[in-house]
Amino acid sequence: MPTIFPRRSLIATTSSLAVLLLAPLPASNAQQLYRPRAVQRAYEEGTRLPDGRPGPKYWQNHGRYSITVTALPPDRTVRGTERIVYFNNSPDTLKALNFKLFLNIHKPGAPRAGGADSLYLTPGVTVNRFTVNGQPVPWRNANTFTNHRATLPTPLAPHDSVTLTFDWNYEISLEGNREGMIDSTTWFLAYFYPRVAVYDDYNGWDTMDFTDAQEFYSDFNDYDVTVKVPANFVVWGTGTLVNADEVLQPTVLQRFRASFSSDTTIRVATRADLLSKGVTTAGPVNAWHFRASNVPDMAFNLSDHYDWDAGSVVVDDVTHRRASVQAAYNDTAADYHHMVRFASHALDWLSHNWPGVPYPYEKTTVVQGPAGMEYPMMANDESYADTVFSAFVAEHEIAHTYFPFYMGINETRYGFMDEGWATTFEYLINVANMGQQRATEFYQQFRVNGWINDPSPAEDLPIITPGDELRRAYGNNAYGKPSLGYLALKDLLGDATFKRALHGFMDRWHGKHPIPWDFFNTVNNVTGRDLNWFFKAWYFDNSYIDLAVRGVTRSANGYRVALENIGGMPAPVDIVVTYGDGTAGTFHQSPAIWQANLRTATVAVPARKPVASLRLEHGIWVDADTANDVWKR
């Protein structure tokens, strides 16, 4: 007979659980979350509050960007002129500004997470002229990679602004991924313009190198961008196309406009239309003009042969607001012929279910490319033979609309705040689309099996570890592990409370720059519970999932099952019993069983018949060692 652990923890019957969750924690179990000194300072300065809200002194900086970019394939040189009015809302006098030149990742010698072949390498971004308040200021191109610090001739005082201009050019990379050439006349322009780095209240200047592993961190800016391309090229991009009537021929313009109120997909322009030069105005160069306010970035795709489909979908039932859904692709990509429908479903589902916040932008465009990458109002996704997978990738990238874009996440340092949520929404939409069992298998296969089957201590590093310090562990710390934590929190709180907490966080922080502590503190504050024991074990400790059965005894109401939490993550688990008569029963245990004692718990299984054997079933919360999950009489 296996040993029963001392019964220190609560008995998780449904009725006693609710009572215990509401009871205050014993002082000995109260947990403080690790708090970096910079975060502590933010509380002292009142830019953030310990209850998770932005503080009365919260601030963030802002830019107004006007850019004209010229791309004339086959000439690989992309040229830009740019004007930034940068507003210093901080209480600090800025003697210098840090700029981001992300495309310098293509320069030989740039700090880089992976290798780079000759197709990838370019001379990077060349700044030919830089002015500050109209005055030319020298700019060093040599040995400048993705960060460039420029001293200002006159310091920028708090609540003042500075006007910056640039003339720049770069050579588009022959190897397309997040940006670059998709084919010789289909180019994806992203991260292409010099921008002021984020200067924030808890970290100062963002000087983290872009190494092509971690992603981005951007201010909310206003953009006015004109993209000049040869006639017969279409440009898709972030924001409102404000001069459709100037660049499109009347028939195509009429189809495009009709799509804004159409539930079904309209073929705005086909490959045949482009071949017969029936889409754009005569040129020779057309200027496509886009505008967007309060967005963290702008991206564009241009092509002279991609099909263009569009439709729209109601994303807000209160205002009946529709969002435009567009797709641009090679006619040979069979799945993409359905992409407007897939993407419309994503907008509809995300708006009405999880996160259950109306899609916050006017449009999305999914472009066929090699990346599987999100941009504000854009996605660049591969074509797949399996349309289920095509829809899945589109849903994931569109889910990013909320995290990181709407929520202003620092993806470089805290990627788990955006990839973790996109992975969570992707799972929940899959449950709705394909049912619990298939969604679970899908999630296990793509998101967590690789992690739980890798015994490297790197994979156990805490999720809170700054992403720019991670190599091997980055992917699992950003995607699967935090997503399991969010879904375990949903299981712990129940859907209604979890949604209230999530909406509380989103209401407080959208359009701003929340950090992990703002999320954890908001959940505690909104739910009125101290969940630090849960957050610490999931996000701040070296941990993984391994639960074990340590003993089973009879009780007045059935059985008591002693469990051990070897890995440390407080995951939900199902106890599946097989009765002596061959029938079976399932007893779900929420993470609450680990509240009083993270390592051992004894749970009540109110089985009405004699039990012959039992085992743990983990669902998405995959377990490192299933050999210790079984008990037999």
Between vectors from CA 540 to CA 538 and to CA 544, what angle results, nearest 5°? Answer: 45
Residue 429 near Zn ion by CB under 5 A: no
Residue 346 near Zn ion by CB under 5 A: no
Q: Between 69 and 393, name the residue whose CB sits nearer to Zn ion.
A: 393
Q: Between 404 and 567, name the residue whose CB sits nearer to Zn ion.
A: 404
Candidate ranges 87-95, 146-154, 418-426, 441-449; the one touching Zn ion (CB under 5 A): 418-426
Using the structure block, give the residue that is written with the tokens 């993806």.
Answer: 411
Report the distance separating Cα 131 and Cα 163, nearest Å.
Answer: 8
Helices (H), 373-494: 387-399, 419-434, 436-443, 449-452, 474-478, 480-493
Q: Between 127 and 422, name the residue whose CB sits nearer to Zn ion.
A: 422
Candidate ranges 54-62, 420-428, 529-537, 605-613; the one touching Zn ion (CB under 5 A): 420-428
Candidate ranges 215-223, 295-303, 352-360, 411-419; the one touching Zn ion (CB under 5 A): 411-419
Report the distance separating Cα 576 and Cα 579, nearest Å.
Answer: 10
Cβ atoms 346, 315 nearer than 8 A: no
Candidate ranges 159-167, 222-230, 412-420, 558-566; the one touching Zn ion (CB under 5 A): 412-420
Buried b (16+ CB within 10 A) or exposed e, 452-486: bebeeeebbbbbbbebbebeebbbbbbbbbbbbbb
Minimum separation from the CB atom of position 392 to Zn ion (A): 12
Q: Between 283 and 370, name the residue whose CB sits nearer to Zn ion.
A: 370
DSSP E strands: which ranges in 243-330? 266-269, 285-295, 299-303, 307-316, 321-329
Minimum separation from the CB atom of position 289 to Zn ion (A): 30
Q: Between 219 and 419, name the residue whose CB sits nearer to Zn ion.
A: 419
Q: Strand 161-171 relative to strand 125-132: parallel, antiparallel, unpaired?
A: antiparallel
Minimum separation from the CB atom of position 162 to Zn ion (A): 34
Chain centroid offset of residue 10 CA? 36
Cβ atoms 34, 516 nearer than 8 A: no
Minimum separation from the CB atom of position 30 to Zn ion (A): 35
Residue 12 near Zn ion by CB under 5 A: no
Minimum separation from the CB atom of position 427 to Zn ion (A): 13
Q: Strand 363-368 relative to strand 321-329: parallel, antiparallel, unpaired?
A: parallel
Q: What single letter denotes the amino acid at residue 538?
A: W
Candidate ranges 185-193, 218-226, 417-425, 617-625; the one touching Zn ion (CB under 5 A): 417-425
What's the chain's Rg over C-alpha atoms? 27
Q: Between 340 and 422, name the residue whose CB sits nearer to Zn ion.
A: 422
3 state SS of 162: strand
Q: Between 417 and 616, name the residue whose CB sits nearer to Zn ion.
A: 417
- Contacts with 389 (C-beta within 8 Å, 6 or more apart), sequence order: none
Number of residues that bind Zn ion (CB under 5 A): 2
Q: Between 238 and 521, name the residue whose CB sits nearer to Zn ion.
A: 238
Which residue from 343, 422, 431, 624 is in contact with Zn ion, where contact means CB under 5 A?
Answer: 422
Q: Between 256 and 405, name the residue whose CB sits nearer to Zn ion.
A: 405
Count of H-run helices and E-run strands, the chain: 15, 30
Minimum separation from the CB atom of position 504 to Zn ion (A): 24
In the bound complex, which residue of the shown chain has the CB atom lying closest to Zn ion? 422
Candidate ranges 152-160, 416-424, 573-581, 595-603; the one touching Zn ion (CB under 5 A): 416-424
3 state SS of 289: strand
Residue ranges that bind Zn ion, judged by CB under 5 A = 419, 422
